[in-house]
C-alpha cells in the first residue's frame, strides 16, 4: 500500500509519460482551520482527472475547471491563495475562514518524477528542489528531520519514508500492521528469527531480518521518528526487543498481550538495567482500547495510538463496557 504522496507522484509520472499535461499543486502555507496540512499535494490532469487532495475537494473543483481551460498556470511555477476573504472561504467550503497558499507546478519529463520515485523506492529520504523562476528540479539526499521550505524563489519538498516502524514477529497481525503502516509513510522492518514464520512472510516492500530481536533493535538504532512494536506473544523474543527499545529515543514502544501479561512483563523488565521511567514508556496492552478483536482491527488500534502520539495528541484510553455486543448478540 502506497502513501498518499506516492500515489500522487506515480499518477503524475504515468500521465506525463502518456502525453498528458499535468499540474502538481502543493500546500505551502495555511492560516486558520485549513482542511489539509502543509505539504499536501494533488495532481490534476488536463482532462480533469485528479490524484490526491489539498482541500478535500472544494478547491480542486475550481482548479479542475481552470486546468481544463488552460488558465491555472503557465509554463513556469506560480503561487496562488484560496479563501483569503470570508466570501471565498464560504464559496470554497473552507472551515472558519481558513486560507491556503499553494504552489502550482506545470510538470514535464524534466520534472524528475521518475528519478524521485526510483530513489524513494529504494527507501531513500529525498529532497526535491524546485526553482520557481525556471521550473528546474534537482534532487538530493534529505537531512533527517528536514521539512518543506519555501522562500518565494525555491520550493523544497521532502519525499520518502519519514517514519520507521520495527515489528517483532511475522504473524498475521504483523502483516496487517505492516501493510497499513506503509500507507502512513512508515518504512517497515520485520524481525523474526523463527524459520516457520520467515518462510510464510509475503508482504512486499518490507525489510525482513532474521536476527535476534535485541540485536536487530540495536542495528536499526531507533530515533525519535521510530516506533517499535512486539507481537510474538513469546517473552523470550518480545522482552529482548523491549529491553533495548525502551532505552532508545523511539517515540513509541508497544507490546501485545493482556493487561495481566504486560504487568508481568514490566516486573521482568525491572530485573534488568531499565529505570522506572523507561519501563513507564511501554504501551502495553498495545494500541488504543477500541474493543478490537481481529488482526486488522488490532492493527488499526495500534496505528491510531501511534498517530496520536507522533502528532502530540493525548488520547485517553476508552472505557469499554462490562458487556460487549458482537454481531448483534450480547457476550
Q: Are 177 and 231 in contact (CB under 8 A)?
A: yes
Selection from 255, 262, 259, 253 nearest residue 309 by Cα = 253
Cα(253)–Cα(267) distance, rounded to whole angstroms? 17
The pLDDT value given to residue 199:
87
The pLDDT value given to residue 213:
97
pLDDT in tens, 58-86: 788 888 988 988 888 888 999 998 875 66
The pLDDT value given to residue 69:
87
CATH number of 163-310: 3.40.50.720
Cα(77)–Cα(120) distance, rounded to whole angstroms? 24
The pLDDT value given to residue 302:
97
Q: Is 78 helix (H, G, I), strand (E, B) or coil?
A: strand
* Residue ranges of the chain with per-residue pLDDT less than 70: 1-2, 32-35, 56-57, 84-97, 316-331
The pLDDT value given to residue 56:
65
The pLDDT value given to residue 200:
86
Cα(259)–Cα(244) distance, rounded to whole angstroms? 21
Q: What residue spans in the chain does CATH classification 3.40.50.720 cover?
A: 163-310
Selection from 32, 82, 78 nearest residue 55 by Cα = 82
Q: Are 167 and 190 in contact (CB under 8 A)?
A: yes
The pLDDT value given to residue 319:
44
Q: Is 188 helix (H, G, I), strand (E, B) or coil?
A: strand
Amino acid at each position: 500500500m502506497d502513501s498518499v504522496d506516492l500515489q500522487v507522484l506515480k499518477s503524475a509520472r504515468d500521465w506525463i509519460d502518456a502525453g498528458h499535461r499535468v499540474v502538481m499543486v502543493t500546500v505551502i502555507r495555511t492560516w486558520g482551520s485549513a482542511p489539509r496540512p502543509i505539504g499536501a499535494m494533488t495532481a490534476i490532469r488536463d482532462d480533469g482527472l485528479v490524484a490526491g487532495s489539498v482541500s478535500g475537494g472544494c478547491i480542486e473543483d475550481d482548479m479542475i475547471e481552470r486546468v481544463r481551460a488552460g488558465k491555472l498556470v503557465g509554463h513556469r511555477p506560480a503561487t496562488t491563495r484560496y479563501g483569503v476573504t470570508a466570501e471565498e472561504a464560504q464559496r470554497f467550503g473552507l472551515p472558519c475562514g481558513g486560507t491556503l497558499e499553494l504552489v502550482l507546478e506545470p510538470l514535464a519529463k524534466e520534472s524528475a518524477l521518475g528519478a524521485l520515485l526510483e530513489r524513494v523506492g529504494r527507501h531513500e529520504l529525498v529532497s526535491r528542489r524546485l526553482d520557481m523562476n525556471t521550473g528546474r528540479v534537482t534532487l538530493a539526499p534529505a537531512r533527517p528531520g528536514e521539512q518543506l521550505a519555501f522562500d518565494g524563489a525555491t520550493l523544497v519538498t521532502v519525499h520518502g519514508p519519514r517514519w520507521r516502524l520495527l515489528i517483532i514477529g511475522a504473524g498475521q497481525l504483523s502483516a496487517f500492521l505492516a501493510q497499513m503502516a506503509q500507507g502512513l509513510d512508515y518504512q517497515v522492518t520485520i524481525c523474526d528469527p523463527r524459520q516457520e514464520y520467515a518462510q510464510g512472510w509475503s508482504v512486499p516492500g518490507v525489510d525482513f531480518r532474521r536476527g535476534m530481536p535485541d540485536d536487530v533493535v540495536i542495528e536499526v538504532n531507533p530515533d525519535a521518528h521510530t516506533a517499535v512494536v512486539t507481537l510474538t506473544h513469546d517473552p523470550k523474543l518480545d522482552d529482548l526487543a523491549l529491553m533495548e527499545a525502551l532505552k532508545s529515543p523511539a517515540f513509541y514502544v508497544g507490546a501485545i498481550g493482556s493487561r495481566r501479561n504486560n504487568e508481568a512483563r514490566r516486573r521482568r523488565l525491572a530485573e534488568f538495567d531499565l529505570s522506572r521511567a523507561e519501563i513507564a514508556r511501554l504501551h502495553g496492552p498495545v494500541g488504543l482500547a477500541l474493543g478490537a478483536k481481529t488482526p486488522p482491527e488490532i492493527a488499526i488500534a495500534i496505528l491510531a495510538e501511534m498517530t496520536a502520539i507522533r502528532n502530540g495528541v493525548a488520547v485517553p484510553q476508552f472505557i469499554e463496557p462490562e458487556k460487549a455486543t458482537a454481531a448483534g448478540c450480547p457476550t
